Amino acid sequence: MKIKKFASIFALLTGLLVLAACQPQTVEVIKEVPVEVEKIVEVEKEVVKEVEVIKEVEVEKIVEVEVEAMAEEPDAVPYNLTPGKPYDGTTVNFLICCPTAGQFAAWQKSVDEFTELTGISVEFANEPWGSFQERIVTESIAGTGAFDAVVWPDSWGPSFSNTLQPLEPLIERDGIDYMDDYPPAFLEAGTFNDHIYGIPVRTHAFVTFYRQDVFDDLGLEAPTTWTEVLEAGRTIQAETDMAGLSNYYGVGSAQNLFVYALMLWGNGGDIFDDNYRPTFNSQAGVDAANLYASLAEIGPEAQFNNNEADARGSVQQGESAMIVGWWHFAGGFSNPEVSVEGVVGNMQHAALPAVEGKDPTGFALSIPVGISSFSRNQDAAWEWIKFISHPARDKAVVMDKSDPATNTVVASHTSVITDPEVNEVNGGIHAAAAPGLENSRLMPLIPEWAEVSSIMETAINEIVLGADAQSTLDEAAADVEAVMERSGYYKDQ
């Protein structure tokens, strides 16, 4: 009898639990931007006036002017921060990846300054790159508000933009006047459906890195076309025990599409047409794939399974003489803790190679920062974003070479990228990348990109390993078309 009673209670409990779990999911999305108290708004206006003055000043003077403004106006604070510490005592949870990235380490170092200015603490949730996307997905579904601010690689953005807060009202409210101070591709990277969800903060341009000492010894010039890259690579392999070019052909995170896309665009092709029909299997796409595959001749043995980090490691270990990649590689190449003797001090950079007879094309990647819709500290998170995205902070980070852990060349603002002082301190890498940034392209910003890129990276890997380019790309294009059709892209066609 007692067992029956217990069984009844047990069944009831289980049933209740299941019922509770089966309740329709309510997703609390905080869309309202809290209104500031009048006093703050008035002070804010004064700060905006102050910023208008700053606009006229040269970028390298911004920090000094901000400090002067503070001296003249006791309520004013630099970096467009809200005066009066209205969020004092708040903690902002900041979800980022890749804690070893110099720029992120520099941000972490600057938290004390930020806390002093605002009273807001910042907790970094460092997620390894490999599980970063899963973390964002699971936190987004759970909608718990576990993080307030988050960074993401641009191509992931459209997939979870429905969990991000549009930033235009905040930009307008706080008179953020440096939104025009970004290369177009960087700004576009955080914009979906005509809304700005992310401020560009960790932005990358593609450049060519090469071993100056090896090139000098062999009498080689920095390559300006892919044909020259191939020829230089052949010479290096013939004359030294190094591989010519370290490429990343492996699958897993679509990184093998970076160089392929560059060649595709440089060859006049594109991934999609205006109606999102795949076009990468056009003649331009096939030629680009064959050109890409031909570079395997001058690569290290392990390249077919290498991802970007592996390929970079090959250069850092002195095994390869060239690599085409993001400018943030420069930090590692100049760090004796991760690069061998011979590499440190000998890595030079040049503009991206062009397809023979064609104009050079740039390729950019941006990791914007945004605010979670589920955050309960959206205003405090916005303060943090204003702080790290301010041109003066951007410049301060790339100018600081005092610590190898925070040494980075990653800058986002046009004014910083073209700043002579910044270029002098960073060996002119920004000036080398700047022309490419003007016409830089991004990977398509569509929610289906993860699936599309997975299909394409598999095809490219197969072509590099010897499959026929035309038929392989045709099959991939058919698969991509099916993905797009399922998502309703061709309904009206």
Contacts to another protein by CB under 8 A = 2-3, 6, 10, 13-14, 17-18, 21, 24-25, 27, 130, 133-134, 137, 140-141, 143, 158-160, 162-163, 250-253, 300-302, 304-305, 307, 319, 447-448, 450-451, 454-455, 458, 461-462, 465, 467, 479, 487
Cβ 314 to another protein shortest distance, Å: 8
Q: Which two tokens stand for residue 384?
A: 């943090």
Closest to 220 measured CA to CA, from 208, 199, 206, 234: 234
Cβ 467 to another protein shortest distance, Å: 8
Cβ 22 to another protein shortest distance, Å: 8
Q: Is 323 helix (H, G, I), strand (E, B) or coil?
A: strand
Would you say 426 or 461 has its CB closer to another protein?
461
Instruction: Provide the 10 A C-beta neighbour count for residue 138.
Output: 12
DSSP-assigned beta bridge partners for residue 326 = 206
Cβ 107 to another protein shortest distance, Å: 27
Tell whether the torsion through CA atoms of 350, 355, 358 and 363 is positive or negative: negative
Cβ 121 to another protein shortest distance, Å: 29
Q: Is 164 helix (H, G, I), strand (E, B) or coil?
A: strand
Cβ 450 to another protein shortest distance, Å: 5
Would you say 2 or 402 has its CB closer to another protein?
2
SS (H, E, C) 276-301: CCECCCCHHHHHHHHHHHHHHHHCCH
Cβ 242 to another protein shortest distance, Å: 11
Would you say 275 or 305 has its CB closer to another protein?
305
Q: Which two tokens stand for residue 32?
A: 């309202």
Would you say 21 or 35 has its CB closer to another protein?
21
Task: Specify the amino acid at residue 103.
Answer: Q
Rounded to whole angstroms, the Cα distance separating 79 from 66 reads 7
Would you say 117 or 164 has its CB closer to another protein?
164
DSSP-assigned beta bridge partners for residue 350 = 208
Beta strands 440-441 and 362-371, pairing class: parallel
Would you say 24 or 89 has its CB closer to another protein?
24
Beta strands 195-196 and 191-192, pairing class: antiparallel
Cβ 326 to another protein shortest distance, Å: 19
Element containing residue 390 per DSSP (H, E): none
Instruction: Provide the 10 A C-beta neighbour count for residue 65.
Output: 18
Would you say 203 or 454 has its CB closer to another protein?
454
Cβ 254 to another protein shortest distance, Å: 10
DSSP-assigned beta bridge partners for residue 96 = 126
Task: Specify the amino acid at residue 314.
Answer: S
Cβ 238 to another protein shortest distance, Å: 18
Would you say 145 or 268 has its CB closer to another protein?
145
CA distances from 243 to 221, 230, 334, 354 (A): 17, 11, 20, 21
Would you say 235 or 461 has its CB closer to another protein?
461
Closest to 79 measured CA to CA, from 43, 109, 117, 53: 117
The owner of tokens 């809304």 is 195
CA terminus-to-terminus distance, the chain? 69
